[in-house]
Amino acid sequence: MRSYKAKMVEPITLPSREERESAIEQAGYNVFNLDARDVYIDLLTDSGTGTMSADQWAAMIRGDEAYAGSDSFANLAESVHDVMGFEHVVPTHQGRGAENVLYGVLLEDGDVVPNNSHFDTTRAHIVNQGAEPVDCPSPASRDPDSTASFKGNFDLDAGRALVEEVGADSIPVVVLTITNNSVAGQPVSMENIRATAEFARDIDALFVIDACRFAENAHFIKTHEQGYEDASIAEIAREQFEHADAITMSGKKDALVNIGGFAAMNDEAIFEHAKQRAILYEGFPTYGGLSGRDIEAMAVGLREAVTPPYVGERVEQVAELGDLLSEADVPVYLPTGGHAVYLDASEIFSHIPKEQFPGQALVCALYREGGVRGVELGGFAFPGTDRPDLVRLALPRRTYSREHLEHIAETAAEAMANADEYDGLEIVEEPPMKELRHFSARLKPVSN
């Protein structure tokens, strides 16, 4: 059951098979190069692609566009305080803006920053400050078939080993990403949040949470962690942040908006310094690169994210897609995460060797078979790593219906059934920064 209905609709069309084949070829077998109008169901990302509520649109009309000290900023500060418990907020144009502002304050050349897993922009901003990001994912995350809860956890043993290796003085910040996007959207338990905060305190480091999907994470704590069955999502959401010194937030995820983000903290000195960086990179610290109406939508969206039944329905819809795919015998990473289903391309296209990007070949096959756009998060997106060849199907919030999910599952089953029609791919053109190649490289089938 859905607790909302559509108030506005956007037409989508499924181009013919010939049109899809021609579009993917012209896109250089890279779905980032497709025109969105040629995509039937767009699962490229859950970031900024969701549907806003009538209340959010209404709030946008009230947006106060004052350069400094707007009412909209005051509303956001109040929401962040009520929902997340922080005293200070610095709005930014999106999550990576918050990373640039905050990590520029907290890091210096030569620092080392452990995280359960860095998202790509977080990693890039830490590197940009001259520091070294280190992933400490839980060992359970390496088994795609284990249905253990909280496979997104921070591995404290790995954290402690890192302290032994580089010394506590090199680690000014410990980060925790909830949910863990780089590990199939797996959640982090409250116990692990507490333990990671304690680990940070023990080595005199600040504890920062990458809070993008904090409401989805709270839902998993409520449904899977002992002692939280009767707590409300709002209570759990706040408790997650109790031990954090600061957060970075992409509003495009769990603040249910199309654009926006912020950093939040309690410490006055960090706040003052962050405001100076915000002026340099984002805008005056009461608008941070956003219009007043964007800020209003984010203030309302944050509250909606923790108001039932929103997030329960959201995570259950993602699980429903996972179930439909499993029923069609399509191998998926288990359990299903909060915002996306991850397909195991090395199994689905087991005839394609890793160097020929089975994940990217599967992404192209999903588009060819059914106009579905996913994203490769394996050897093509992360060159030089041994990341498993997963394909992420990220569901936009409050956007697609059961029939769309069925089409996605049928499309994936079709791609699997026709596996021998699909070849591996080779890169024919790539940008100078290898790390960014999956956004723009052009490829071709190895047999052409």
Taking the least distance from each CB to ligand F0G, the nearer of 116 and 317 is: 116
State the nearest-atom distance from the C-beta of 179 to ligand F0G, in Å: 8
Taking the least distance from each CB to ligand F0G, the nearer of 331 and 396 is: 396
User: What interhelical angle do 233-241 and 214-224 show, nearest 10?
Assistant: 110
State the nearest-atom distance from the C-beta of 294 to ligand F0G, in Å: 12
Taking the least distance from each CB to ligand F0G, the nearer of 225 and 254 is: 254
State the nearest-atom distance from the C-beta of 115 to ligand F0G, in Å: 10
State the nearest-atom distance from the C-beta of 408 to ligand F0G, in Å: 17
State the nearest-atom distance from the C-beta of 230 to ligand F0G, in Å: 29
Q: Which residues bind ligand F0G (CB under 6 A)?
A: 45, 47, 94-96, 119, 121-122, 177, 181, 210, 212, 250, 252, 261
Taking the least distance from each CB to ligand F0G, the nearer of 119 and 220 is: 119
State the nearest-atom distance from the C-beta of 369 to ligand F0G, in Å: 23
CA–CA separation, 129 and 157 (whole Å): 26
State the nearest-atom distance from the C-beta of 261 to ligand F0G, in Å: 5
CA–CA separation, 94 and 251 (whole Å): 7
Of 253, 247, 248, which Cα lies nearest the Cα of 302? Answer: 253
CA–CA separation, 46 and 43 (whole Å): 7
Using CB atoms, what's the residue nearest to ligand F0G?
Answer: 95
Taking the least distance from each CB to ligand F0G, the nearer of 64 and 294 is: 294
State the nearest-atom distance from the C-beta of 252 to ligand F0G, in Å: 5
Taking the least distance from each CB to ligand F0G, the nearer of 252 and 275 is: 252
Taking the least distance from each CB to ligand F0G, the nearer of 236 and 340 is: 340
Taking the least distance from each CB to ligand F0G, the nearer of 47 and 79 is: 47
Residue 414 in tokens: 């079709």
Taking the least distance from each CB to ligand F0G, the nearer of 340 and 361 is: 340
Taking the least distance from each CB to ligand F0G, the nearer of 370 and 396 is: 396
State the nearest-atom distance from the C-beta of 182 to ligand F0G, in Å: 8
> How would you write the chain as a 3-class SS string?
CCCCCCCCCCCCCCCCHHHHHHHHHHCCCCHHHCCHHHCCEECCCCCCCCCCCHHHHHHHHCCCCCCCCCHHHHHHHHHHHHHHCCCEEEEECCHHHHHHHHHHHHCCCCCEEEECCCCHHHHHHHHHCCCEEEECECHHHHCCCCCCCCCCCECHHHHHHHHHHHCHHHCCEEEEECCECCCCCECCCHHHHHHHHHHHHHCCCEEEEECCCHHHHHHHHHHHCCCCCCCCHHHHHHHHHCCCCEEEEECCCCCCCCCCEEEEECCHHHHHHHHHHHHHHCCCCCCCCCCHHHHHHHHHHHHHHCCCCHHHHHHHHHHHHHHHHHHCCCCECCCCCCCEEEEEHHHHCCCCCHHHCHHHHHHHHHHHHHCEECEEECCCCCCCCCCCCEEEEECCCCCCCHHHHHHHHHHHHHHHHCHHHCCCEEEEECCCCHHHHHHHCEEEECCC
State the nearest-atom distance from the C-beta of 21 to ligand F0G, in Å: 26
